């Protein structure tokens, strides 16, 4: 777990740095507390795509590039297996409860401060 500032609020994020934790993500959960989420860490920036297989809660996904700037923000619906892709190369993906990104005013181009514990993937 790490804490991270998003839109002026402090969030507690689970860190998915290994293949298995990135694959499972937030599957099979019935809820997620307010101001919580998950940050997915990848070895290098690429055109990331996520889906919602076995994911029961609606989410926002914030794709973040290697420069720690937001690439794009999307909403994802429970159990939707269609791909939700970043608008460009991303090294991180942050999942939050649906509607959180809009409430925080998160937009493409904004700079984030990725916590040290989430800077590198573990392969």
Say what the pLDDT of residue 89 is.
Answer: 98
Rounded Cα–Cα distance for residues 115 and 2 (Å): 7
Q: What's the pLDDT at 70?
A: 98
How do the domains of the chain map onto residue ranges?
2-116
CA distance 33 to 36: 6
**pLDDT for the residue 122:** 86
pLDDT at 61: 98
Q: Please give the Cα distance from 27 to 55 (Å, whole number).
A: 4
Unique residue bearing structure tokens 């777990």: 1
pLDDT of residue 121: 92
Whole-angstrom distance, CA of residue 8 vs CA of residue 49:
27
- Regions of the chain where pLDDT drops below 50: none
Global pTM reads: 0.97
| CATH top class, domain 2-116 | mainly beta
Structure confidence by residue, pLDDT tens digits, 41-75: 999 999 999 999 999 999 999 999 999 999 999 99
């Amino acid at each position: 777990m790490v804490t991270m500032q998003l839109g002026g609020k402090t969030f507690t994020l689970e860190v998915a740095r290994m293949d298995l934790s990135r694959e499972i993500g937030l599957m099979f959960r019935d809820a997620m507390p307010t101001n919580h989420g998950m940050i997915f860490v990848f070895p290098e920036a690429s055109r990331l795509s996520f889906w919602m297989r076995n994911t029961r809660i609606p989410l926002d996904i914030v794709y973040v590039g290697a420069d720690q700037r937001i690439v794009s923000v999307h909403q994802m619906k429970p159990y939707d297996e269609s791909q939700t892709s970043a608008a460009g190369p991303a090294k991180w993906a942050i999942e939050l409860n649906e509607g959180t990104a809009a409430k925080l005013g998160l937009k493409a181009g904004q700079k984030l401060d990725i916590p040290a514990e989430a800077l590198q993937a573990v392969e």
